[in-house]
Amino acid sequence: MSEIWTAVLVLSIIGALFAAVLYIVAQKFKVVEDPLIDEIAEVLPGANCGGCGKAGCRAMAEAFVKQGNMEGLKCPAGGEEVAKKVAALLGCTPEESEPQVAVVRCNGSCSNAAAKTHYDGLQDCAFANSLYTGESGCAFGCLGLGNCVRACQFDALSIDPESGLPVVDEEKCVACGACTKACPRGIIELRNKGMKNRRVYVACRNKEKGADARKSCTAACIGCGKCQKSCPFGAITVENNLAYIDFNVCKMCRKCVAECPTGAIHAVNFPPKVERPAAPPEAAKSEPVATPAPEAAKSSEPTTPNA
Amino acid sequence: MKTFAMGGVHPEENKISTAAAIEEFPLPQSAVILMNQHLGAPATPCVAKGDKVKVGQLIGKAEAFMCANVHSPYSGTVAKIDTCKDAFGMTKPAIYINVEGDEWEESIDRTPDIKRECTLEPKEIVDKLKEMGIVGLGGATFPAHIKYNIAPDKKAEYLIINAVECEPYLTSDHRAMMEHAEEICIGVSILRKALGVPNAYIGIENNKPEPIAVMKAMAAKFEGIIVEPLKVKYPQGAEKQLINAITGRRVPSGKLPIDVGCVVSNVGTAFAVYEAVQKNKPLIQNILTVTGKKLPSQHNYLVRVGTTYNQLIAHAIGTLPETTGKVISGGPMMGKAVSNLDGPTTKGASSVLVIDEGEATRAQETNCIRCGKCMNACPMGLEPYLFSSLVKNRRIEEAGEHNILDCIECGCCFFSCPANKPLLDEIRLGKNLYRGILMAKKK
Amino acid sequence: MKLLNVSGSPHVHSDESTRKIMWRVNLALVPTLIVAVAFFGLNALLISIISVASCVLFQWLIEKFIMKSPSTICDGSAVVTGLLLAFNVPATREMMWLVIIGALVAIGIGKMSFGGLGKNPFNPALVGRVFMLISFPVQMTTWPKPGENLFSMVSVPTTDATTGATPLGLIKEQGVGAAGDVMQYFIGHMGGSLGEVSAVAILIGAIYLLCRKIISWHIPVSFIGTAFIFSGILWLCDKTAFVDPVTTILTGGIMLGACFMATDMVTSPMAKSGQLIFGVGCGLLTIIIRNWGQYPEGVSFAILLMNSVTPLINRWCKPKRFAN
């Protein structure tokens, strides 16, 4: 019988000792934290996509609490809904911004930009970009090795096996911008979603002279400037042999699409065949006079190429 | 027999073009001269469209610090000044020349006589190297006048001439030593004088007994030139490994050879130095091997800069064999795969190597079996397998902590990997990303 | 003409491959297999064949139906596991079906559950072996007597009536006096598992692997050396309580373990210094388990325990940097 009591006694003492140690450690290393951080972190999507520029959702919540308002902080993945919730918790008004989506600005598919060499190295765009121009010879085009696909936390990107180009699933894309950072050639851009998801953009990044650009890709922007002349709103600029459409100015009249000799300008999600006079004015009317979103305008600057 | 401290591999040597004597390559009809054929900023064109140029005339002037002069290898008319895609597809500034005749600048001594005496002072020698656009011909094309302009707080103790040619297939240095031993030794003496060092060591791998014999006999006639036969092991020709093999010193991480009192130049550079200083001839020609196991013939050419790869192949063998898998500029271990055969050759080009399909295609990658072969092969004592997984998971800073920047990109790791993992690709990517991180931190 | 390939350097590769390494290990195991058949008759051959076949089959099934990945059975690693597993069991009739369970554990749990070759922390054959030893202790320690003469192939035992004991078992039960002739042990004329008896055959295979640079001397030498020195010290302290060092290293699984199982690339450290630590650890643990443990033999446990600290050793033992 005494053995049992010894065991009970010894175990109790050990238990009490450990409890004391745990208590002291917990007291000593206690971190005082604003409970608001937890609450906000709860509201955030929790994907840790890094779209906000912070290390993760928790870091973002800390930034919100530290700043006390939402100025300059935006959770692109959460969108309006999350912004409202966070604003309610912080007691401020959410910043309004146009919803955005990732757009692939390259049309160098296997048929447009035929392969002239065969790449046989590490399947990583960043490495291939540092090694050479890519299979088609275009130093600005998509390499098709899928760094953007791997960067996407929302499963919104995939490489189309037919064209070899990434395709954005607009339903899933939350415009976190992870892919734009992952792409070594700055091909993916966040653009305003636009009315009814309609967008007009130049699907090319090639800054070579027209003839050189055409050598590597039949659908390349050759910088002819026809689109610039045709645009009634002055939304198009041609710089370094490359046209760029400012989505904050564009009224989606699609005149440039018809003008482009190489088909480098893409118009997406428009009904297949519309009567010329009817559609553009309507689109122009329905387009809200865009509240200039400073963040969006900044990110729309063409990123520096790494030629 | 001397060699470097750790790692290394022994790839199949395949020196099949050693017997082919150096032939002069015919002039093309038109040529493209790139403005950056060296490490650093491109030279600035100093001729205009329509200008007549002579062989050896300065056409690209070095204006930046890290830059080298470019001279015209041809006589004729400047067709245009534009950009050109080089052999690797990169767009670079270039001068296009329509070749007319072969008229040389009068100042260049074209007689076959060997000029032995050099009366120039060290400073004048370095200026001459700058004027003549001499760059290192060992692969990195580092401008020679910068290398030989030793900072006042540093002191050169050893001049090491790299005649190792540890890359398989390449034979241009081998042929140069066989045919121009005396010129090379004069060039070495000039470099020795420029540095003011007592001795110059010429490191030659033991698989080249003939050049060793020729060079030894020639070096005996000169003061302070020592021929040092080395054990055959790749990458003996890498600067840090060669210094280690010959002097026993080790270049510390992130430092240059001069920090341990060494200056290393290629044997081809020594020949170019001879021609520049003694014969007034700028660097417009280099010796280039055209080789490959499946090629009907093997060649060593004296080629003018700006000849395209297609011209070289057409003249040497007609057309590429049907089963060609890859064309490489340089050796198979460190050379670059050519993606644009219309690209022109540059000062630093040492070979056109044609590799067959079977050898050129990488085998399927399998799981790492942690055999440690990459680690044992690494001449820098690094852990390639670790970098591979760190880079794959983008844990770049950790890779940096494991000294990824020490890597000299010799390729021993990938060469020896039984799982065919593209280790060097991953390491290169990691190095690039880590440099980016360091740059961002500096700002 | 086909498109030119483009990739980063190097553009050539040594002729090494995982497949070559594994098949060479298999080749190195052949002498041991021959001796096993010579001593234990066709039973040994049958067990080996069943073990190899079931390892390969299980790997194929798991890759095909569970992992849905391309099959890697051709790389020969499953054959190595199968052979080593067979070499670690006694040549009795029961083993012909028990070894199938061992193979399932070895391949399924020991290897494929971690993601296949290269990802397993423990030597798969030893995982299978230890599983069998714990689950079927009686069958796993019932040893047939080896044939009286070399190559007594004719005497295929119809029953397992003639059971003997391993020298280590005898010593454990009856004390040091039970140790036999060292020369007999060296050739392998003693009771034991299929592949562990003959030091000669194992050494032939090990020398082949050393020449082929598939293993380095570090693990076998440090393993056997440590076991020899440690048991030697014990023996010098008390010659009546401990076995002499020569008998120690020649009996039981030390030879097989040190040459073929501790040297498994996947589960042993990569740096040479780490390999020395690994070998010393294996040697110490083996002798400790043999002399003070429950089991007469401790090689499997020693190697498995050292496998578990391999990642740590890999962290400590870095190669020497050139630029330092």
**ipTM score of complex:** 0.90
Tell me the residue length of chain B: 443
Tell whether omega for the bond before C10 is within 30 degrees of 0, i.e. cis.
yes
User: Residue-wise pLDDT tens for chain B (443 aa)?
Assistant: 899 989 999 999 999 999 999 999 999 988 999 998 999 999 999 999 999 999 999 999 999 999 999 999 999 999 999 999 999 888 899 999 999 989 999 999 988 888 888 889 999 999 999 999 999 998 889 999 999 999 889 999 999 999 999 999 999 999 999 999 999 999 999 999 999 999 999 999 999 999 999 999 999 999 899 999 999 999 999 999 999 999 999 999 989 999 999 999 999 999 999 999 999 999 999 999 999 999 999 999 999 999 999 999 999 999 999 899 999 999 999 999 999 999 999 999 999 999 998 888 999 999 999 999 999 999 999 999 999 999 999 999 999 999 999 999 999 999 999 999 999 999 999 999 999 999 999 98
d(CA A53, CA A299): 13
* Residue C175 banded pLDDT, cuts 50, 70, 90: confident
Quote the pTM value: 0.88
Tell me the residue length of chain C: 324
Nearest CA in chain A to B336: A131
Burial of C168 (0-12, 13-18, 19+ CB in 10 A): buried
- Non-local (6+) Cβ contacts of A71 within 8 A are A95
The alpha carbon of residue B369 is apart from the nearest alpha carbon of chain A, in Å, by 19
Region C76-86: what's the mean pLDDT? Answer: 95
CATH class of A100-289: alpha beta
Nearest CA in chain C to A118: C5
Residue extents of the structural domains in chain A: 35-90, 100-289
Distance, CA of A80 to chain centre: 16
- Non-local (6+) Cβ contacts of B236 within 8 A are B3, B4, B8, B164, B166, B203, B205, B230, B242, B245
d(CA A175, CA A51): 8
Tell me the residue length of chain A: 307
Strands B52-53 and A242-245 turn out to be unpaired
Burial of C36 (0-12, 13-18, 19+ CB in 10 A): buried
C5/A122 CB distance under 8 A: no
Residue B268: per-residue pLDDT: 94
* Residue C305 banded pLDDT, cuts 50, 70, 90: very high
Asked if A132 reaches chain B (Cβ–Cβ under 8 Å), the answer is yes
Residues C210 and C270 in one domain: yes
Residue C192: per-residue pLDDT: 84
B87's tokens: 């052999």
Are residues B202 and B225 in contact, defined by beta-carbon separation less than 8 angstroms?
A: yes
A137/B85 CB distance under 8 A: yes
Asked if residue A125 has pLDDT above 90, the reply is yes
Dihedral (Cα; C180, C183, C188, C191), 10-degree rounding: -10
The alpha carbon of residue B127 is apart from the nearest alpha carbon of chain A, in Å, by 33
Asked if residue A302 has pLDDT above 50, the reply is no
CA angle, B158 as apex, B156 and B160 as ends, to 5°? Answer: 125
CA angle, C196 as apex, C195 and C202 as ends, to 5°? Answer: 80
The alpha carbon of residue C3 is apart from the nearest alpha carbon of chain A, in Å, by 5
Residue A91: per-residue pLDDT: 82
B159's tokens: 């001049």
The alpha carbon of residue A183 is apart from the nearest alpha carbon of chain B, in Å, by 13
Region C233-237: what's the mean pLDDT? Answer: 94
Last residue of a domain, one of C122, C140, C158: C140
d(CA A219, CA A242): 13
CATH class of A35-90: mainly alpha
C271's tokens: 């740096």
More confident residue, C195 or C217: C217
Asked if B422 reaches chain A (Cβ–Cβ under 8 Å), the answer is yes
Dihedral (Cα; C255, C259, C264, C268), 10-degree rounding: 80
Which has the closest alpha carbon to B97: B353, B314, B380, B308?
Answer: B308
Strand ranges, E, within chain A: 100-104, 117-119, 157-159, 166-168, 188-192, 199-202, 236-239, 242-245, 265-268
The alpha carbon of residue B289 is apart from the nearest alpha carbon of chain C, in Å, by 17
Which subunits sit against A, judged by 3+ Cβ pairs under 8 A?
B, C
Residue A275: per-residue pLDDT: 52
Q: Is C150 a member of any domain?
A: no
Asked if residue C149 has pLDDT above 60, the reply is no
Burial A34-69 (b: 16+ CB within 10 A, else e): eeebeebbebbbebbbbbbebebbbbbbbbbbeeee
d(CA B309, CA B321): 15
Nearest CA in chain A to B421: A122
Q: Which of C2, C4, C7 comes nearest A121 by C-beta?
A: C7
d(CA A173, CA C187): 70
Interface test with A, best of C7, C9, C11 (most A CBs within 10 A): C7
Which has the closest alpha carbon to B428: C7, C138, C166, C47?
Answer: C7
Asked if residue A45 has pLDDT above 90, the reply is no
Residue A274: per-residue pLDDT: 52
Q: Which of A117, A121, A122 comes nearest C3 by C-beta?
A: A117
Which subunits sit against B, judged by 3+ Cβ pairs under 8 A?
A, C
Give C150-165 pLDDT, tens digit per residue.
444 444 444 444 456 7
Residue C164: per-residue pLDDT: 64
Average pLDDT of chain A to the nearest whole number: 83
Please state, for a pLDDT cut of 90, what percent of chain C lies above it: 62
Nearest CA in chain A to B365: A122
Strand ranges, E, within A50-161: 100-104, 117-119, 157-159
d(CA B90, CA B352): 18
Q: What is the CA radius of gyration of chain A?
A: 26
**Chain A residues close to C5, C-beta within 8 Å:** 117-120
Please state, for a pLDDT cut of 70, what percent of chain A lies above it: 89
Strands B299-304 and B285-291 turn out to be antiparallel
Region C227-233: what's the mean pLDDT? Answer: 95
**Chain A residues close to C6, C-beta within 8 Å:** 117-121, 131-132, 135
Residue extents of the structural domains in chain B: 1-25+118-358, 373-442
d(CA B32, CA B49): 13
Burial of C294 (0-12, 13-18, 19+ CB in 10 A): exposed
Residue A298: per-residue pLDDT: 40
* Residue A76 banded pLDDT, cuts 50, 70, 90: confident
What stretch of H or E contains C230? Answer: helix C218-237
What stretch of H or E contains A81? Answer: helix A79-90
The CATH H-level superfamily of B1-25+118-358 is NADH-ubiquinone oxidoreductase 51kDa subunit (3.40.50.11540)
d(CA A70, CA A64): 6
**Which of A47-51, A86-90, B436-440, C276-280 has the lowest average pLDDT?**
A47-51
B429/A139 CB distance under 8 A: no
Asked if residue A304 has pLDDT above 70, the reply is no
Region C205-229: what's the mean pLDDT? Answer: 95
**Chain A residues close to B425, C-beta within 8 Å:** 121-122, 124, 127
Residue B99: per-residue pLDDT: 94
Asked if A151 reaches chain B (Cβ–Cβ under 8 Å), the answer is no
Q: Is C250 a member of any domain?
A: yes
Q: What is the CA radius of gyration of chain C?
A: 20
Find the domain containing C305 and state its range: 167-313
Interface test with C, best of A110, A119, A136, A143 (most C CBs within 10 A): A119
A72's tokens: 């300059």
Q: Is C94 a member of any domain?
A: yes
B46's tokens: 């100093």
**Number of domains composing chain C:** 2
A132/B90 CB distance under 8 A: yes
* Residue A289 banded pLDDT, cuts 50, 70, 90: very low
Asked if C2 reaches chain A (Cβ–Cβ under 8 Å), the answer is yes
* Residue A303 banded pLDDT, cuts 50, 70, 90: very low
Indicate the DSSP class of residue B405. G
d(CA B106, CA B108): 5
Region A97-107: what's the mean pLDDT? Answer: 88
Tell whether omega for the bond before B198 is within 30 degrees of 0, i.e. cis.
no
Residues C299 and C241 in one domain: yes
Dihedral (Cα; A179, A182, A185, A186), 10-degree rounding: 40
B426/A122 CB distance under 8 A: yes
* Residue C269 banded pLDDT, cuts 50, 70, 90: very high
d(CA C324, CA B7): 15
Residues C176 and C295 in one domain: yes
C131's tokens: 């599983």
Asked if B339 reaches chain C (Cβ–Cβ under 8 Å), the answer is yes
A133/B89 CB distance under 8 A: yes
The amino acid at C52: V
Please state, for a pLDDT cut of 90, what percent of chain A lies above it: 32
